[in-house]
Amino acid sequence: MGYVSVIAQEALTADVYSLTFESPTDLSQGFEPGQFLHFRVTDSFDFTLRRPLSLCAADVQNNQITVVYRAQGEGTKRLTRLKAGDRVDVLGPLGHGFLTHQGDKKVLLIGGGIGVPPLVELARQFHESQVRVVSALGFATQAQAILLDELSDCGSLFVATQDGSLGQHGFVTQLLTEDFCAGIDRYYACGPTSMLKAVQQVMRDRNIAGYLSLEERMGCGIGICVGCVHPIARDGKVVNRKTCKEGPVFLAEEVIFDE
Ligand SMILES: Cc1cc2nc3c(=O)[nH]c(=O)nc-3n(C[C@H](O)[C@H](O)[C@H](O)COP(=O)(O)OP(=O)(O)OC[C@H]3O[C@@H](n4cnc5c(N)ncnc54)[C@H](O)[C@@H]3O)c2cc1C
Ligand code: FES
């Protein structure tokens, strides 16, 4: 934990920002794509709860992390004021990220909207280890599409937009046909809950195992407050698991969504 220096901040779209800062821990000691950073918005008591944002890219050599976030509520809007040289209080990287499996040759990354950022570092690591990466991304409109170059640099990229302004018209799940999924060893998904639920169903039909990164509201971020639990099916039982500590990434088959 601690204060770190901001290296750079830039706007990627009208309301999405990329923020690069010194890592609070030594990245060469290890981290996982899919882990998150917990940001204290200001030093005052205006914002008591930290804001969780996923690690999007890690520069191990320079010990820097980039997060990509949408400024939607008061806290994230306040983060947009940060500029190079400012200090910010960040915890992390926290939680359990995406697990990779030796022997996988081709993986599918499925992202929706502001759920795309954590897939970038994962794609980069797969690409580096010569695992073929196929990315299927969904956005509301072309104007909201982000990180396309970063993902197409690591493999093949397919996009769906709800208004048809870019790629296929419709939801990202409409890309996931049987032909499209042929030869995929495993999938990794992050996005809104409605998307994750639909992805879980489609990929179950395709008989492909995978991981889902869940977005629960968080308090402490370190396993103390129990504010972030999600029901998980494990060993024939339903158990509540802390998303901050045992997630945010879970085995897709274990995740229980509301009917
Ligand atoms: C593990 C994890 C990783 C995330 N990664 C990203 C990311 O990379 N980029 C990104 O844009 N967003 C990400 N989010 C969502 C992001 O944390 C929320 O959008 C943000 O906390 C909202 O804060 P706010 O100040 O804009 O909104 P406010 O309405 O002011 O927030 C009020 C409170 O609700 C919480 N809250 C509001 N919306 C959410 C939400 N969708 N998920 C969790 N908590 C919420 C806030 O943390 C805060 O405690 C992630 C969430 C989680 C749990
Ligand atoms: S956020 Fe406090 S236990 Fe998970």
Q: Does any ligand 2 atom lie closer than 6 A to the CB of residue 225?
A: yes
Count of domains observed in the chain: 2
Q: Tell me whether residue 245 is in a domain.
A: no
Give the Å distance between the CA of 216 and the centre of ligand 2. Answer: 9
Q: Does any ligand 2 atom lie closer than 6 A to the CB of residue 229?
A: no
Q: Which atom of ligand 2 is the closest one to the Cα of 245?
A: 4
- For position 91, what pLDDT does the model report? 96
Residues in the chain: 259
Q: Does any ligand 2 atom lie closer than 6 A to the CB of residue 192?
A: no
Give the Å distance between the CA of 217 and the centre of ligand 1. Answer: 7
- Measured in whole angstroms, the distance separating CA 239 from the mean position of its chain's CA atoms is 23
For 67, list phi and psi in degrees, rounded to 5: -115, 150
- For position 1, what pLDDT does the model report? 55
Query: pLDDT truncated to tens, each residue of the chain (259 aa)?
Result: 589 999 999 999 999 999 999 999 999 999 999 999 999 998 877 788 999 999 999 999 999 999 999 999 999 999 999 999 999 999 999 999 999 999 999 999 999 999 999 999 999 999 999 999 999 999 999 999 999 999 999 999 999 999 999 999 999 999 999 999 999 999 999 999 999 999 999 999 999 999 999 999 999 999 999 999 999 999 999 999 999 999 999 999 999 998 6
CATH number at residue 127: 3.40.50.80
- Rounded to two decimals, what is the model's pTM? 0.97
Q: Tell me whether residue 246 is in a domain.
A: no
Residue 113 sits in the same domain as residue 204: yes
- For position 44, what pLDDT does the model report? 77
CATH number at residue 70: 2.40.30.10
Domain boundary among 41, 60, 94: 94
Q: Does any ligand 1 atom lie closer than 6 A to the CB of residue 52?
A: yes
**H helix intervals, 10-160:** 74-79, 117-128, 148-152
What Cα–Cα distance (Å) separates residue 25 from each residue in 3, 22, 49?
11, 9, 21
Neighbours of 34 (CB within 10 A): 24
- For position 227, what pLDDT does the model report? 93
The residues that bridge with 51 in the sheet, in sequence order, are 39
Q: Tell me whether residue 255 is in a domain.
A: no
Residue 11 sits in the same domain as residue 85: yes
Q: Does any ligand 2 atom lie closer than 6 A to the CB of residue 92?
A: no
**Residue-number span of the structural domain to which 190 is assigned:** 106-213
Q: Does any ligand 1 atom lie closer than 6 A to the CB of residue 96?
A: no
Torsion angle (degrees, nearest 10) of CA 122, 128, 130, 131: 0
Give the Å distance between the CA of 36 and the centre of ligand 2. Answer: 13
Test site for ligand 2: of 48, 214, 220, 232, most ligand atoms within 8 A of the Cβ? 220
Q: Does any ligand 2 atom lie closer than 6 A to the CB of residue 49?
A: no
What whole-number distance in Å separates Cα of residue 230 and Cα of residue 216? 8
